[in-house]
């Protein structure tokens, strides 16, 4: 079985963090850039807690919608099992030797 096949069959490892839309950033006219939503991700390091993503979502009816400032959101991070390791694997060799 290939890695591609096994990753489709196994559920992805994931975590979900709460966030809040701090501001909606409108592009400069004529720049061609999309509107962005700046989201503060709770639980992230202070210097890395804000992310900016295109402010384009699709609702359950397939209609394009946008986030509003102050909106409470969830930021979901997913990874295929083949690119993850167990928490036990993340301890260093020095940690294992000291036990």
Kindly report, residue by residue over 14-45, the tens digit of the pLDDT. Answer: 999 999 999 999 999 999 999 999 999 999 99
Alpha carbon distance 18, 32 (integer Å): 30
Which range marks the domain in which residue 43 is found? 3-97
Q: What is the pLDDT of residue 45?
A: 95
Kindly report, residue by residue over 44-77, the tens digit of the pLDDT. Answer: 999 999 999 999 999 999 999 999 999 999 999 9
pTM for the predicted model, two decimal places: 0.74
Contact 17, 72 (CB under 8 A): no
| Domain count for the chain | 1
């Amino acid at each position: 079985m290939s890695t591609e096949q096994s990753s489709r069959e196994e559920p992805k490892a994931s975590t979900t963090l709460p966030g809040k839309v701090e501001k909606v950033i409108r592009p400069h006219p004529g720049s061609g850039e999309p509107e962005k939503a700046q989201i503060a991700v709770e639980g992230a390091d202070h210097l890395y807690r804000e992310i900016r993503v295109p402010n384009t979502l699709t609702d359950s009816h397939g209609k394009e919608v946008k986030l509003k400032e102050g909106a409470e959101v969830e930021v979901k991070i997913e990874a295929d099992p083949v690119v993850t390791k167990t928490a036990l694997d993340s301890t260093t060799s020095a940690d294992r030797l000291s036990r």
